[in-house]
Copies of this chain bind each other. A is one copy, B any other.
Amino acid sequence: MFKKSALVIFSGGLDSTTCLYWAVNNYSVVHTLTFLYGQRNKVEVEYAKKTVDLIKKAGKDINMHFFKIDLFQIGGSALTDRGIAVPKRRTLKDIGYGVPATYVPFRNGIFLSLAAAFAEKENVDDVIGGWNTVDFSGYPDCREDFLKTMEKAINLGTKRGIEEKPIHVVFPLIYKSKMEIVKFGKEMGADYSYAYSCYEGKEIPCGECDSCILRKKGFMEAGFEDDFLVRLKKEGKLR
């Protein structure tokens, strides 16, 4: 431990925040890469910075990187096409079947390719992401066989691969439920006060999108209060 360097694909949400805490506990050098991809949840980026500030205050250094890429140029998703609505008020049993409207065509393929380029430029060993499939299995680009095949492609298609200093794709949350992710994060001291998950992208989470529903269930089952809501209440923004 504490020997290698990591690049965490960091949206600022619950899963990638958990990964970031895991990384600062396990790597000597930590980079984050946040994509500004024209998503509805732009507010995530501001929150992402605040989460990194919290970790820096705790004495850990983090190199933040941003990459601007406008996926509205492709469209085809409720997150990158204003003509497609984010599904709301669904019950838990409706979530997780089929590919959801919030699926962005090959988003994780695009993000992993860009992360690989950054990893090569910054000489990083491991690329870490918060992909998981337990609660929400509809995203094809979150599955282990996809991630492993992308890792193989990355090492065939980069200078790093040729030089036999492979880049590893690491997915510590892949088989964890939201409940387990919250517990895992809390064990590593995660503070979720600014870890934002809502698809709607407003300051106060909607509480009704798939992401909000799963998060609520996760915190409840793990037996923790949601730091984000606790903070909002403290700030008088939520009753």
List the interface of chain A (C-beta within 8 A of B): 66-71, 73-76, 99, 103-110, 112-114, 116-118, 120-121, 140-141, 143, 145-146, 149-150, 152-154, 156-159, 161-162
Contacts and interface: CB of A to CB of B under 8 A. Distances in A.
Nearest 5 Cβ contacts at the A-B interface: A141-B157, A105-B117, A146-B156, A76-B121, A109-B113
A83 to B, nearest CB: 13
B149 A161 contact: no
Contacts of A114: 74, 106, 110
Chain A facing B: main interface SS: helix
Nearest to A161: B140
A66 B110 CA distance: 16
Given A68-B73, A71-B117, A105-B158, 17 more contacts: A68-B70, A69-B69, A74-B117, A74-B121, A76-B120, A76-B121, A103-B159, A105-B159, A106-B157, A109-B153, A109-B154, A109-B158, A113-B113, A140-B157, A140-B158, A143-B157, A149-B157
Nearest to A120: B105
Contacts of A67: 73-74
B113 A158 contact: no
Contact of A105 (B110, B121, B153): B121
A106 B156 CA distance: 10
Contact of A150 (B70, B76, B107, B157): B157
